[in-house]
Structure 1
């Protein structure tokens, strides 16, 4: 199995190797305040090169053991992360499903880039890995995320109270899923 390289109109998606940890660190430093309302509280170690080297080592291993595909969308030069698109908790067997999470650089929000990136990632998971279901959740206040998932064809399946600890407090989430029409 080789690392994916998925080309979209504006990006190239791949799984970053630990040697490229500086790209992830740069993305999260640039977007620290932008992402704060939608993510867990991050301690200062999250914003270090050592953290990102280890995290990319883990992601690389998870790709090869089949438990996750953590994609980054790089610009044309391959030197700047524009967005992330993570498919985690991949379970095969009779379930063939995973969870989806994503983030976009504040400078690219509202330009259709996240739909382009997540759509390409979904295509890879459905067509190359044969997954049947991709699940995603979003906070009701995150209207952009809800609209994105709807445009991508995700259907609402439920509502979970106090579902995830986000920015220091338990937040409700809308639960959605997308079923692979080809499987």
Structure 2
């Protein structure tokens, strides 16, 4: 896992295009441009701007030998002050499912959120029927705290999501 770079655009576009049908049931609709190198370059530039503004942190999951992208994980909506919280989102190439990669990435970004950004809490949401992602979050120490009806437009409909959180520490804000 390492910080995302504009140079990752081609590899991410290829991985996302190969996984498009696999991820369609759990992802929002994306334009055709999203699955191109140019679309990913624009997305990465936006993610880097979020990072530079202190509102996000994005990482690419890479294969150890080749360095090829096999997923991404993002901390978004970083709020400081008394809230000190953010959301986490992630995806992993279908070929890498079931190997613990997502769980390890979630655990690592929680460490970063706590130790490097100074956050108190990380939240996540999953579709009600996305049991695999719910297992990832449970293994990474998240607890379910609610249900958000018609939360995101996924696969042609507004879909309910189960909400999870992980409290990172109880220290007061700096």
Scaled by the length of structure 1, what TM-score is found? 0.89
Q: Partner residue of 2:12?
A: 24
Which region of structure 1 is more displaced relative to structure 2, 46-55 or 13-22? Answer: 13-22
Distance 1:82 1:127 in 2: 25
Distance 2:56 2:119 in 1: 12
User: Structure 2 regions of 5+ residues with no counterpart?
Assistant: none
| Stretches of 4+ aligned residues off by more than 6 angstroms | none
Which region of structure 1 is more displaced relative to structure 2, 76-85 or 38-47? Answer: 76-85
Contact preservation (8 Å) 2:126, 2:134: yes
- The residue correspondences of 1:79-90 to structure 2 (distance < 5 A) are 79-90=67-78
Alpha-carbon offset, residue 65 of structure 1: 1.1
Q: Partner residue of 1:144?
A: 132
Q: Partner residue of 1:63?
A: 51
Post-superposition CA distance 1:121-148 (Å, at most 9, x none): 1111111111101010111100111111
SS in 2 for 1:79: coil
Contact preservation (8 Å) 1:15, 1:60: no
Q: Partner residue of 1:153?
A: 141
Distance 2:5 2:41 in 1: 8
Distance 1:160 1:21 in 2: 33
Distance 1:72 1:122 in 2: 15
Q: Partner residue of 2:62?
A: 74
Alpha-carbon offset, residue 77 of structure 1: 3.6
Q: Which residue of 11, 14, 17 corresponds with 2:2?
A: 14
Distance 1:45 1:20 in 2: 16
| Structural RMSD (CA) | 1.3
Scaled by the length of structure 2, what TM-score is found? 0.93
Alpha-carbon offset, residue 150 of structure 1: 1.1
Q: Partner residue of 2:158?
A: 170
User: Structure 1 regions of 5+ residues with no counterpart?
Assistant: 1-12
SS in 2 for 1:28: helix
Alpha-carbon offset, residue 79 of structure 1: 2.9
